[in-house]
Amino acid sequence: MLEEFGPSLYSADGSIVSFFGFPYPTRMAVARLSDGSVWVWSPVALTDELADEVQTIGPVRYIVSPNKLHHLFLYEWTDRWPEARLYAPPGLARKKPELPFYAELSDEPSPSWAADIDQVVFRGSLAMEEVAFFHRASRTAIIGDLIQRHSETTISGWKVWDKTERKDGTFSVSDFQWQEQANEYRCPEGHALRSDWRSFKKPRTRITNANTIIFRSSQFDCAICPNKDRCCPNTPIRKIARSVHERARDVARRIYVTPDYQRSRRERKKVEMLFAHLKRILKLDRLRLRGFSGASDEFTLAAAVQNLRRMTKLIAQGPPIDGIGASA
């Protein structure tokens, strides 16, 4: 779990979290200070294995969050180490007043770790402020969301992000068979998962606020099932949340794996990048001229400017001509 990154510095990868529909990996850093205590940066989801490995490094005394987005797992760590001091970046204490923050981070490092770690608040971002750290012993810059690297498959082209697949060895939703006529799922052992095990005088839609319908197995079936450890080892029954738009999602899943979709995604990216450039760089976020003719003329002029900018990069430029140029 923990990997040694440098002298007295370790890192650990956590689970994938969703942010505006995009899968984001999580990673934390652990530093052993010169006094033997442990400094934790941006903690990930806490497991017993990770907690044991961190404890072997030393007692956890300080937990820091680099920006106001990194707060998902702070509860777990403060519950496990209530004596540790929790430090907030600018803005997070107001966003999460229920967290027991000890102090807010600034450009000056806390005297508790100033000898080992330096820090500075990165300001000027429209999204948020972030605290960047520098670990002196390993000469490592510890940065959160200021620098990001995504694979092409996660950012080019929208697709159905399937969160139903499990990676812990238990059955995923794809292991259950959907019975359209019976309006139920069938588990690998053949038992039913239904949304309405009993009828009501007043019919219910069963639709939750998340636009899903919960299908549940029978507790009696699960109690005697030989595959319970592979299905729902920590709960008495198995639940499956089925989206009301699941049919459309199935169509999207089938299209996503086709070569035609992969080609259309590459072509669509070229067009979307041009529109993004028009709005962000050329400031064509709204049209100033009224009417269809005025809008057409304005858009044509903006596209011409965009093409001229691209031409200057594509056309090779020769050496300067004598007599032409800026005066000395």
Which residue, 231, 252, 273, sits at the end of a domain?
Answer: 252
63 within domain boundaries: yes
| pTM above threshold 0.75 | no
Q: Which domain holds residue 281?
A: 263-314
* 30 shares its domain with 49: yes
324 within domain boundaries: no
319 within domain boundaries: no
* 61 shares its domain with 135: yes
Direct distance between the N- and C-terminal alpha carbons of the chain, in angstroms, rounded to an integer:
62
Q: In this structure, what CATH number is given to the domain that contains residue 145?
A: 3.60.15.10
pLDDT band at 315 (very low <50, low <70, confident <90, very high): confident
pLDDT at 104: 94
- Provide the H-helix boundaries in 44-91: 48-57, 74-80
Q: Is the pLDDT of residue 59 over 50?
A: yes
Which residue, 99, 118, 153, sits at the end of a domain?
Answer: 153
As a whole-number percent, the residues of the chain with pLDDT over 70 amount to 90
* 96 shares its domain with 121: yes
321 within domain boundaries: no
What is the number of residues in the chain?
328
Which of 46-50, 118-122, 251-255 has the weakest average pLDDT? 251-255
* 30 shares its domain with 140: yes
* 24 shares its domain with 118: yes
* 233 shares its domain with 93: no
9 within domain boundaries: yes
* 146 shares its domain with 209: no
pLDDT band at 256 (very low <50, low <70, confident <90, very high): confident
Per residue in 32-43, pLDDT (tens digit) is 999 999 999 999
Q: Is 123 or 188 the better-scoring residue by pLDDT?
A: 188
163 within domain boundaries: no
pLDDT at 328: 47
pLDDT at 323: 57
* 26 shares its domain with 121: yes
Q: Is 46 or 315 the better-scoring residue by pLDDT?
A: 46
Would you call 173 exposed, middle or buried from its count of C-beta atoms within 10 A (0-12, 13-18, 19+)? Answer: middle
Q: What is the mean pLDDT of residues 42-60?
A: 93
Q: What is the mean pLDDT of residues 49-56?
A: 93
Q: Is the pLDDT of residue 138 over 90?
A: yes
Q: Is 282 or 181 the better-scoring residue by pLDDT?
A: 181
* 285 shares its domain with 224: no
Long-range contacts of 28-35 (CB under 8 A, 24+ apart): 29/5, 29/135, 29/142, 30/2, 30/54, 30/57, 31/113, 31/116, 31/117, 31/135, 32/8, 32/57, 32/58, 33/8, 33/58, 33/61, 33/112, 33/113, 33/115, 33/116, 33/117, 34/115, 34/116
Buried b (16+ CB within 10 A) or exposed e, 75-107: eebbebbeebbbbbbbebbeeeeeeebeeebee
Domain count, the chain: 3
Phi/psi for 307 (5° steps) reads -70, -35
Contact predicate 205/214, CB 8 Å = no
Q: Is the pLDDT of residue 316 over 80?
A: no
Q: Is the pLDDT of residue 322 over 70?
A: no
3 state DSSP class of 27 = strand
Spatial strand order of the sheet with 22-32 comes to: 3-6, 9-19, 22-32, 38-41, 60-64, 85-88, 101-104
pLDDT at 326: 47
Which residue, 226, 252, 278, sits at the end of a domain?
Answer: 252
pLDDT at 139: 93
Angle CA 54–58–64, to nearest 5: 65
Q: Is the pLDDT of residue 153 over 60?
A: no
* 146 shares its domain with 180: no
pLDDT at 217: 95
* Average pLDDT over all residues of the chain: 87
Q: Is the pLDDT of residue 319 over 90?
A: no
54 within domain boundaries: yes
* 115 shares its domain with 24: yes
> 212-217 and 239-243 as β-strands: parallel, antiparallel, unpaired?
antiparallel
- Provide the H-helix boundaries in 83-236: 92-95, 152-155, 219-223, 228-231
pLDDT band at 99 (very low <50, low <70, confident <90, very high): very high
Which of 131-135, 284-288, 314-318 has the weakest average pLDDT? 314-318
pLDDT at 132: 94
258 within domain boundaries: no
* 232 shares its domain with 104: no
